[in-house]
Amino acid sequence: MKFGKEEIQKIVLGGLVGVGVIYSYFDLLLGPLKTRHANTLKSIAALQPEISRAKGLIAKGNTIRDQAPQAEATIAQIDAMIPEGAPVAWFPTRMTEFFKTHGIDKVSTRMTGEAPHPSLSGYRRITWNIEIPKVECLRFGAALAALENTEPLISVETCNIDTQREEPDVQRVSITLSNIVKQ
Amino acid sequence: MPLHLNLYHEIDRQKAASRRDPLKIAAYILGFIVAIFVAMYVIELGKNASIQGDLAKLKAEFDGLDPKAKEVERSEKALKQTLDTSAQFVKSIEGRFYWAPTLQEVIKIVPREVQITRFGGNVTTVAGAPGTEPTKKAVITVDGIACGADPRRVAEDLRQTLAETFGKKYKTSTASFRQLDDSTDTVALDGRNLPTATFGITLTVEGANDAAATATNTTPR
């Protein structure tokens, strides 16, 4: 088959049109569509961890919210144990009355230190020295056990019991304790 | 065979030439390719629309969750502080060193040949290894007078018993003599005059004390 000049021109023209169509198709139609597709996939991939994070935060928040009433009740219970007012006004009286109920009459309590609680914000730790000049060791032991059992905010730091040569039946007791109070 | 005359041969040749027209053939091929391209484009457009729908759904979900998460994050700080405070209170209360059972234990251990003249002690908080809770360390001093045929032996027995007894209750327990001296004094026990020795024992215990304080009911020695 032999092509004439006009036919060859038509073929070349057709080829050029074809190339143009293919180029336009990929560059102007399919290309942007593919780019958009890829961008959408990227957006989805970026959004999924954010959604998981948000879901995790909400779940964690719900767990904490469920635990909060119990914690609030514990704090309220502890706060209720701390009387209002300056500790120096109520604590020595409280100790005197406490030991009196355990048969120990002479008790002197004095404050020896005060500092913010190292791990509880909004609370202070006050250190007290309690002197009992005359007490039977076992009576004191029972009172100490009761003190440790009934006063959870009190922690006995030092305890000294000395016998007295002139009265061997009674001992002299000195204890240092710390008490948690509100700021 | 009959004679067949083709009077339209010119027309037939033109028709054959028209059928073989390369431009026409190229146009058909191009049309076919364009049809394929259009189909591909439509398929791609469909995929894109579907994925855009997914993205819109996710965005809507995120828009719903994000304000809630931010609100939770805001309130979480306050709630966490409440939880921490409560946990610290519990830890502080439960981690106390109880003196009453310690005193009770010492009273139980002391034999009738020994008179305690001084009992003392102090508690300190010892920071543990990283990641572990701090522990309470108590240094207890027990001073007294021991009597017997061999008063030093009596004091040594007391030291060993203290270390063994408290070793069962605490992770570490050591008892050592601060002093152990013979005394010129004698004491009367069971109708006999016995030599005495004065002693000072330091007992160091460390580790959690699970025992709660209990009332002492031991008879005095």
Q: Do B122 and A157 touch (CB under 8 A)?
A: yes
Of the three residues A57, A81, A105, the one that is the final residue of a domain is A81
For residues A3 and A69, membership in a common domain is answered with: yes
Q: How many domains does chain A have?
A: 2
The answer to whether residues A59 and A131 belong to one domain is no
Q: What is the pLDDT of residue B22?
A: 66
Is a pLDDT exceeding 80 seen at residue A178? yes
Residues A47 and A132 in one domain: no
Looking at the predicted structure, is the pLDDT value of residue B30 above 80? no
Angle at B178 between CA B173 and CA B182, to 5 degrees: 130
Query: Are A64 and A42 within one domain?
Result: yes
A104 in the same domain as A61 = no
Q: Which tens digit of pLDDT belongs to each residue from A106-155?
A: 899 999 999 998 888 888 999 999 999 989 988 999 999 999 999 999 99
Domain boundary among A81, A105, A128: A81
Minimal Cβ distance to A30: which of B44, B97, B99:
B44
- CATH value at residue A94: 3.30.70.60
Considering CB atoms only, which of B68, B76, B103 is closest to A141?
B103
Domain-terminating residue out of A51, A81, A111: A81
Q: Provide, rounded to the nearest whole percent, the portion of chain A with pLDDT above 70.
A: 98
**Which residue range(s) make up the domain with A143?**
87-182
- Regarding whether A19 and A3 lie in a shared domain, the answer is yes
Judgement on whether residues A57 and A43 belong to the same structural domain of the protein: yes
Nearest residue on chain B to A44, alpha-carbon basis: B55
- Cβ-nearest to A162 among B85, B118, B122: B118
**Co-location of A101 and A73 in the same domain:** no
DSSP bridge partners of A113: A127
Q: Is B121 on the interface with A (CB under 8 A)?
A: yes
Mark which residues 24-63 of B lie under 8 Å from A by CB.
26-27, 30, 33-34, 37, 40-41, 44-45, 47-48, 51-52, 54-55, 58-59, 61-62
Q: Which residue of A has its CA nearest to B29?
A: A18
Q: Are strands A108-116 and A154-163 parallel, antiparallel or unpaired?
A: unpaired
Please state, as a whole number, how many other Cβ atoms lie within 10 Å of the Cβ of residue B150: 14
pLDDT, tens digit (0-9, with 9 covering 90-100), for B111-141: 999 999 999 999 988 877 777 777 888 999 9
A42, A109: one domain = no
Interface pTM, i.e. ipTM: 0.73
Indicate the average pLDDT of chain B.
85
The reply to whether A48 and A120 lie within a common domain is no
| Cβ–Cβ under 8 Å, residues A109 and A100 | no
Give tens-digit pLDDT for A148-174.
Answer: 999 999 999 999 999 887 887 889 999
pLDDT digit string, tens, across residues A41-68: 999 999 999 999 999 999 988 888 888 8
Residue B190 — left, alpha, or beta (φ > 0 → left; ψ -120 to 50 → alpha)?
Answer: left
Same structural domain for residues A117 and A66?
A: no
Interface test with B, best of A1, A75, A81, A138 (most B CBs within 10 A): A138
Q: Please answer yes or no on whether B99 and A159 come within 8 Å at the CB atom.
A: yes
Is residue B217 pLDDT above 60, yes or no? no
Question: How confident is the model at residue B54, as a pLDDT?
Answer: 93
Higher pLDDT, A122 or B54: B54
Contacts 24+ apart (CB under 8 A), B180-187: B180/B152, B180/B155, B180/B156, B182/B151, B182/B152, B183/B145, B183/B151, B185/B145, B186/B147, B187/B145, B187/B147
In this model, does residue B216 exceed pLDDT 70? no
Task: Note whether A22 and A55 are same-domain residues.
Answer: yes
